Amino acid sequence: MGEKISIVVSIYNQHAYLHECIDSVLKQTYDNFECILVNDGSTDDSLDICNEYAKKDSRFQVIDKENGGLTSTRIAGFDAATAEYICFLDGDDFLHKDFLKKNMEALSKENADMCTCSHFQYKEGTIITNTYDFDYAVYEGEDIKNNHILPIIGKLYSGNYKNLPGYVWGRIYKKSCIVKECFVSERKTYPEDDVFQAYLYPQLKRIVYIPDKLVFYRVNEASLTHTYRKNVWNKLKSRHEKIERVFQNDSSKEVTQRLLASAFYTIYVTLTNAYELSGYNLFRKDVKDMLTDEFALKTLKNLPGKMLSPRQKIMVFLLKHKQYFALYYFKRVMFK
């Protein structure tokens, strides 16, 4: 039968997708699991749907809580989980039927603390395959730092650097490896998943990557990922500061380089977030506010050009010279 797994599903007003999500858990070929459905104060009938499944199958339980955001649902599910292994799923995504089976086979074979699989993007019934592709790989010791966590915390787009996603979903973890610091609120820190992985990293002794695409990540244009975020600059700075804390005693070249990339990511995402605003004046205000922060100015000054793609070099040049109008139209030229 294998070790038991806790599946924590985060749910907020996902009536349209929830049946597909929970049914994908029911169809798993590895059936030794408990599924904790955490309703985050939904105002639609998501809670009723959750209760229907719990009545029919004793492996399902429902937690109904006041709205507190995605991380709060993960904490609630984590606290209720009883299995040795745990994974997280968002209520608008769904799983391949062999998600549990293939990840658990790899964990068992390699005696690993975490297994990562690949995924599909899924939009309006169409599978999009331009996502991360992984080779089968096992890392331990220093290799976990160099081949797993550094490519997550600081993306580099010049040369042949490896970059990896930091998502919390799409992975199965030994529950004992997850510490309370892993859970930071997306309302204060963004993206919170990167911080989760950074604080998880010191507890990992051995991890495995498998190439199988076993999660269907729904591209939802109405989600927070695709809308303007208020106060994103401070949330991104919070992400960077927390990650810096993890590596405060490591001054190696590789860590220093990736932390610089993490700092640039803070600027880059703030700029792209500003593009979501309507009109030049609002865009200019957002970018100008960012460039009054000493952290941004110091990052731009210390950033080596060899770390950047040609497009990013142009972006940095325009930011350094506070060419707001050129930056505003930069998107039209370079992103379309």
The whole domain housing 147 covers 5-224
Q: Verify that 213 and 285 share a domain, yes or no.
A: no
Tokens at 68, concatenated: 């507190």
Q: Verify that 220 and 241 share a domain, yes or no.
A: no
CATH of residue 44: 3.90.550.10
Contacts of 79 (CB under 8 A, 6+ apart): none
Q: Verify that 47 and 112 share a domain, yes or no.
A: yes
Beta strands in 175-223 (DSSP E): 206-218
Q: How many domains does the chain have?
A: 2
Q: Verify that 216 and 244 share a domain, yes or no.
A: no
User: Of 206, 224, 242, which residue sits at a domain end?
Assistant: 224
CA distances to 105, 177, 187, 240, 309 from 193, in Å: 25, 16, 12, 12, 25
Q: Verify that 215 and 315 share a domain, yes or no.
A: no
Q: Verify that 159 and 301 share a domain, yes or no.
A: no
Mean pLDDT in consecutive groups of 10 residues from the start of the chain, 336 residues: 92 96 98 98 98 98 98 98 98 97 98 96 80 92 97 90 94 98 96 97 98 92 67 97 97 96 96 91 96 97 90 93 92 62
pLDDT of the residue at 333: 64
Q: Verify that 125 and 74 share a domain, yes or no.
A: yes
Q: Verify that 256 and 237 share a domain, yes or no.
A: yes
pLDDT of the residue at 128: 80
Query: How far apart are the C-alpha atoms of 112 and 206, rounded to whole Å?
Result: 5
Q: Verify that 55 and 145 share a domain, yes or no.
A: yes
- Outline where the chain has alpha helix (H): 15-26, 46-56, 70-80, 99-110, 142-144, 150-153, 192-200, 232-246, 253-274, 280-290, 294-302, 310-320, 324-334
Tokens at 150, concatenated: 């550094």
pLDDT of the residue at 157: 86
Q: Verify that 213 and 267 share a domain, yes or no.
A: no
Q: Verify that 205 and 275 share a domain, yes or no.
A: no
Q: Verify that 77 and 219 share a domain, yes or no.
A: yes
User: Of 224, 244, 266, which residue sits at a domain end?
Assistant: 224
User: Of 202, 224, 246, which residue sits at a domain end?
Assistant: 224
